[in-house]
Structure 1
Amino acid sequence: MAEDLSKRKYKHWQDEGVEKIPPDEEEDINAVAEQVNGMQRAQFNSHRHCYTGTHARTHGIVKGRLTVKDDLPPHLKQSMFAHAAEYPAVCRYSSEPGDPGLDDRIPQPRGFAIKIFHIPGEMFDSTKTAQDIEFNSTPAIDLADAKTTREILDLRIKYGNNKPELYKHLEARKDTDLQKGRDQVRNTHLESTRQYSQTAYRFGDYVAKYCLVPSTETQRKMYEETVKPDEHESDILSQWLINFHNNHDAEYLWQFQLLENLDDQPVEYAGKVWDPEKYPWQTAATLFVPKQDPFNYELKSFWEDHMRIDPWMGLKTLQPLGGSNRLRKKVYYASSKLRREMNGRREIAVHSIDQIP
């Protein structure tokens, strides 16, 4: 008989120890903001266009709808999942590094971002009415806290064009496997790839990480195929994505993994995976994407030049938690501000999917 997960003792988001701000974190965060802006300026020098500091390469953008289940147990009826509902959404597939010209044949973490509209509830920014959600294809983030982020970005800036030298420095670290893991990810169809929040978030009364699980048979089957550098072209991931979305509907399960044990499920250090065998994933909603062209040039330009994804602009009941998320609050703003200035574009607060091309 399946365990009744509603009877588990989940941590409250305000429990002691959920967040512990380390000394000098603000200094590290400010340094990272400067590092990311420096990386953006370097990309501008190459492309004469300023991109976001991470997830610069767009593979495709699609529109869909998020459906919250109507039979959730009480511990999952949290925040925007408290009631059965349907919400329009727009989603972007990307590659994690800050180089928009990154060759698809190079294995790297892949990203998925969602902007969800017409969400009820109190927002951090009262002028914004959409909920932003970020995902990455690796369950743990190598930039696990502010101090680690500062150290790793420093190494990437110094030795990013000299992989043997970079690896020599990474291998001297205690988190070597975590840092080298990004170069060893499975390079496969984006629409078949499971996506993770990596960091923890408030989940109504509780704390959770979340993930998106491809749920159609077609999507799952595509995961079996991987990129072959000797056979495929440099934009193969976009080619695959265009072919898939033009011919198939897509569906993802939105699942949550709730916090129960702070010693085993750290919030401040996002470099550790919360064991799914001990702390099961639980489905609260589905994301449905109907057949469509995922590479609309006008939409791509609108997203990259005018939109911003930032979960700190979302619901207070989905507050980002932990050091990596406190870092994002300042760094995302600094990255976006520089991008608008260098491209001569203004940020547009998108309140409805009808504003999007």
Structure 2
Amino acid sequence: MTSNQWATLVSRKYVPWDAAGVEKIPPHEEEDMKAVIAQINEMQQRQYNKTRHCYGGTHARTQGIVKGRFVVPGDLPSHLKQSELFKEAGEYPVACRYSSEPGDPGLDDRIPQPRGFAMKIFNVNGEMFDAGQDYPTQDIEFNSTPAIELADTKTTREILDIRLMCGGDERELRDQLKKRSDYELQVSRDQVPNKHLESMRWYSQSAYRFGNYVMKYRLVPSTETQRKLAEETVKPENSDDILHLWLQNFHTTHDAEFLFEVQLLENLEEQPVEYAGTIWDEKKYPWQPVAELVIHKQDSWSYSRKAFWEDHIRLDPWHGLIALQPLGSSNRLRRVLYPASSALRRKMNARQEINIKTIGEIPG
């Protein structure tokens, strides 16, 4: 950005993270949370009955796992030097997992669905939440769509109830969703571009504290090679694991680079925090770069890495800095849902959850 552009962004009035109205806990949210935990556990049980292995309620299909560097520059303007992670220049080891968002580990890659990306950043120093205070990591998760149809806890409970009732009957599912006022949002997940994972933009969907302010964040591919891959879409004649194969081929032969950008809260009416089904207008509220993710050439498909991550690691946005606190209904749900989902997986798979402290503990 030019100095004039930065000057304009520095002077804008950003909403403080603890301002009145940023978070509004609705009645019965705790009851809805308990119901969602039971629903996700039932979905996990159904998958276990098919595969005799328990997976997470979402993001069950691993597409690849890589290691890289998260680089924070030292010349950020004052309004972006937020939290211990972005306050000064730094370079951090990072482990990243690509996934498909649904909870079916056998989902055919030729079926268009949201995809996932997650980062575990190591050697992060600062005041941590209790759940991760003994582990110097910042967990960050992304989705390939900028808004999430499970937009708050109440909506999540209602939609999961419909999905469980309909099972695998897509026609019945559509009929039930048509009765809802948010039908277009609910079916948008089935209409996403099905393309090369390395060409995708990755979004937080929900809001997070950003030091003094509130942000959404995203990753944007920043090499010409990655951008050109957006033209490579999945076709019916491709294999059912084509996304994993494309990803492996790319990482074996190319470096990858992404810009990590934040979008700051300025208007609660137009940028709701409690409801994560609304896209924040990027023309009114521009994205601002604060870091870079660099992934050098490597094999993205390691059996040992995949097994270790799926069986032992829990990536959780509540494992990290207090200054980057997850905000809003969907994130409050994650705070109780993720540990419950993980506990069932460890019990049914007879595996121990391992909260790693260094990137070297991840094999491969």
- Range into which the TM-score falls when normalised by the shorter chain: over 0.9
**What CA distance in whole angstroms lies between the structure 1 residues aligned with 2:221 and 2:93?**
18
In the alignment, which residue of structure 2 is the partner of 1:320?
Answer: 326
Aligned residues: 356
Return the alpha-carbon distance in structure 2 between the equivalents of residues 102 and 327 of structure 1.
25
Residue of structure 2 equivalent to 1:167? 174
Aligned partners of 2:181 and 2:199: how far apart in 1?
Answer: 32
* Pick aligned residue for 1:253 from 259, 262, 265: 259
Q: Deviations over 1:262-284 (max 9, x none)?
A: 00000000000000000000000
After superposition, the C-alpha distances for 1:25-82 in whole angstroms (9 at most, x for unaligned) are 0100110000000000100011100011110000000000000011111111011111
Listed one character per residue, the Cα deviations across residues 294-335 of structure 1 (whole Å, up to 9, x for unaligned) are: 000000000000000001111100000000000011110100
Between the aligned partners of 2:170 and 2:362, the Cα distance in structure 1 is: 40
Which amino acid is 2:183 matched to? Answer: T
What's 1:202 paired with? 209
Separation in 1, partners of 2:162, 2:111: 20
TM-score, scaled relative to structure 1: 0.99
Shift in Å at residue 164 of structure 1?
1.2
Q: Please give the residue correspondences for 1:82-161 in structure 2 after superposition, counting only pairs within 5 Å.
A: 82-125=87-130, 126-161=133-168
Cα deviation for residue 171 of structure 1 reads 1.2
* Residues 51-90 of structure 1: pairs in structure 2 closer than 5 A: 51-79=55-83, 80-90=85-95
In structure 1, C-alpha distance between the alignment counterparts of 2:142 and 2:58, rounded to whole Å: 13
CA distance in 2, matches of 1:111, 1:75: 29
CA distance, structure 2, for counterparts of residue 63 and residue 21 of structure 1? 37
Provide the aligned C-alpha RMSD in A: 0.8
Distance in 1, Cα, partners of 2:87 & 2:231: 36
Map 1:1-357 to 2 at 5 A. Answer: 2=5, 4-79=8-83, 80-125=85-130, 126-229=133-236, 231-357=237-363
Q: Deviations over 1:199-221 (max 9, x none)?
A: 00000010000000011100000
Question: In structure 2, what residue type is equivalent to 1:342?
Answer: M
| Structure 2, unaligned runs of 5 or more | none
Runs of at least 5 residues in structure 1 that lack an aligned partner in the other structure: none
Which segment drifts farther, 161-170 or 332-341? 161-170
1:289 shift after superposition? 0.2
Tell me the amino acid that sits aligned with residue 210 of structure 2: F
Which secondary structure does the structure 2 equivalent of 1:257 belong to?
A: strand
Q: Determine what percentage of the aligned residue pairs are the same residue.
A: 65
Distance in structure 2 (CA, Å) of the matches to 1:341 and 1:220: 42
SS of the residue 1:119 aligns to: coil
Tell me the secondary structure at the aligned position of residue 256 of structure 1.
strand
2 CA distance for matches of 1:316 and 1:209? Answer: 16
Matched residue SS, 1:303: helix
The Cα shift of 1:144 comes to: 0.2
Q: What stretches of structure 1 move > 6 A for 4+ residues in a row? A: none
Please state whether the residue corresponding to 2:5 is helix, strand or coil. coil
